[in-house]
Copies of this chain bind each other. A is one copy, B any other.
Amino acid sequence: MNTALDDGSLRQLFSGARTYNGFIDKPVADDQLQAIWDLAKWGPTAMNGLPMRLLFVKSAAAKEKLRPALAEGNLAKTLAAPATVIVATDFEFYGRLPRLFPAFAGARDLFAGNGALAEATASRNATLQGGYLILAIRAVGLDAGPMSGFDNAKVDAAFFAGTKVRSNFLVNVGYGDAGKVHPRGPRPDFSEDCRIL
């Protein structure tokens, strides 16, 4: 049986973590990005479908490819971030189910024959994985700056043309600059957003 994580870990993941709009001048190594995946990949998805795909945009050339899609308010901070993750969804995730979920032989056909179910399942589970990703970034000791302020169609055309992969959101990654956070927004009490029945 587990017990609660120590207070420092809970602060790092949740109560003390912030969305960073800038990072100190310290690079993020490729093996740190791999470590993030090697945690996030364990998060649960329906039928182990794992529909999330990640592009870690680090090079100047790849940042330039991303630039035209960025909202003006997100431009400078994203170009300056050590890495920007394009969090995306593979809407043909079900093609891998014979390998990823061998317990149910009919899994692939279930989704292949039901576009609405495939789309809802891909969206829900890739976004759940996006939540695991943000916390995995924090768990390895890095900081995250997630964003929705960009042109999804432009990202898709630049990075995912000819595939069924579509962008979901972006996350800047690095060592957060404590001077580059906005005032923290209030959170509702338990009784406002939750009920026990």
Contact = CB atoms under 8 A, between A and B. Distances in A.
A185 B56 contact: no
A168 to B, nearest CB: 7
Interface string A109-122: 00000000000010
A131 to B, nearest CB: 2
Contact of A15 (B42, B187, B195): B42
Given A15-B42, A44-B19, A37 B148 contact: no
A4 interface: yes
A186 B53 CA distance: 16
Nearest to A135: B135
Query: How extensive is the interface on chain A, given as a class?
Result: 35 or more
Interface in A17-67: 17, 19, 24, 30, 33-35, 37-44, 46, 48, 50, 52-59, 61-62, 65
Given A13-B139, A139-B5, A50 B187 contact: yes
B193 A37 contact: yes
A73 to B, nearest CB: 11
A24 B9 CA distance: 26
Contact of A193 (B50, B59, B99, B121): B50
30 contacts: A1-B141, A1-B175, A2-B141, A3-B141, A5-B9, A9-B9, A9-B139, A10-B39, A14-B42, A14-B139, A15-B38, A15-B42, A37-B190, A43-B134, A43-B135, A44-B134, A44-B144, A50-B187, A52-B193, A54-B193, A54-B194, A54-B195, A56-B196, A56-B197, A121-B148, A124-B148, A124-B168, A128-B134, A129-B131, A131-B131
